Amino acid sequence: MSESIKKVSIICAHGGLDEVYPALILANGARMEGIEASIFFTFFGLNAIMKKTISKLKVATVGNPSLNLAMPMLGLPVTMPFPTWLGGIPGVSGFATGLMKKEMEKLDIPPVDEFLEMIHDAGGEIYACKLAMDMFKLTREDLIEPVDGILTVGEFYEKSAGATVLFT
Amino acid sequence: MPTKNIAGLDVEVDEEGYLVDHTVWNQDIAAALAQEEGIDELTDRHLMVINFMRKEFEEKGTGPSIRRLTKESGVPTKELYQLFPGGPAKKAARIAGIKKPHGCI
């Protein structure tokens, strides 16, 4: 049998609701299996750990050609493309996000803030990227409490020693 | 399915050592399985988790997600990971004598 994974280091660089969840689910799932886990939020991924934006993440309805998968939630065929012109109308992204959140709640998937607390309490580590923080003029005060630290790329690699690195 | 002698009782287990029939479970089996998982003594807090898992399994045919477990058993996430180090959902399910959980959350 091949050796099992002992540690994962997950990089989350995008802040769309659908872009953040894979990182959270992978990290939490790792902890559930007794695997060490950390998530490194960088660039637009920082939206997921900022107090002001954590509860406002959205699903992109413009330039998202894969949204057909969500069409059955509206009672429409799964092969029907979601029209880009419709996605640009104010409120549509919010509506699609609400619809998706409802489906996730049914599956017992927690909201992002609760999920991050859960991962943190489970021993998962949550980090922010220093360069992206500097670029967006953010400080520790802007971030939610469970964040364990702000790391440079070098420090990220140090912490990731022996880990499988995943880019979501 | 292989048979295994646990706490003096011959019981059927699957390939990963989970009980096939949760109704044959008793406290002695739980204690023996806990030993195998590296837990020397089952405290009241362990039993709270185990009893909640069994109740959920009997009602729904599947064990609870970690989220439900921590929200409704009265044992918070941090403590859950301390009680069952190295994989609470799987370990607690095995000790509780129910099937291996298949959820992702």
Find the closest chain A residue to B78 by CA distance. Answer: A121
Q: Are A72 and A78 in contact (CB under 8 A)?
A: yes
Subunit contact B76:A28, Cβ cutoff 8 A: no
- pLDDT tens profile A54-66: 999 999 999 899 9
Local confidence band at A8 (pLDDT 50, 70, 90 cut-offs): very high
Of A32, A107, A121, the CB nearest to B87: A32
Domain assignments of chain A as residue spans, ordered by start: 8-55+111-168, 58-110
- pLDDT tens profile A110-150: 999 999 999 999 999 999 999 999 999 999 999 999 999 99
pLDDT at A1 over 60: no
B104 touches chain A (CB under 8 A): yes
CA distance A112 to chain B (A): 13
End-to-end CA distance of chain A: 27
What homologous superfamily is domain A8-55+111-168 in, according to CATH? Answer: DsrEFH-like (3.40.1260.10)
For chain B, domains (ranges, CATH) are 1-105 (1.10.10.370)
Annotated catalytic residues of B are 104
What is the structure's pLDDT at B105? 87
DSSP B99: P
CA distance A37 to chain B (A): 12
Subunit contact B104:A108, Cβ cutoff 8 A: no
Q: At what angle do helices A92-106 and A17-32 cross, to 10 degrees?
A: 20
- Contact list in A for residue B68 (CB cut-off 8 A) is 108
Q: Minimal CA–CA distance to A26: which of A100, A97, A149, A124? A: A124
Subunit contact A25:B90, Cβ cutoff 8 A: no
- pLDDT tens profile A62-111: 989 999 999 999 999 999 999 889 999 999 999 999 999 999 999 999 99
- Contact list in A for residue B88 (CB cut-off 8 A) is 32
What was the ipTM of the complex prediction?
0.91
- pLDDT tens profile A14-56: 999 999 999 999 999 999 999 999 999 999 999 999 999 999 9
Q: Minimal CA–CA distance to A30: which of B65, B84, B105? A: B105
Which parts of chain B sit beneath pLDDT 50? Answer: none
Q: How many other C-beta atoms lie within 10 A of the C-beta of residue B58?
A: 11
Subunit contact B77:A109, Cβ cutoff 8 A: no
- pLDDT tens profile B61-78: 999 999 999 999 999 999
What is the structure's pLDDT at B86? 86
DSSP B97: T
What is the structure's pLDDT at B27? 95
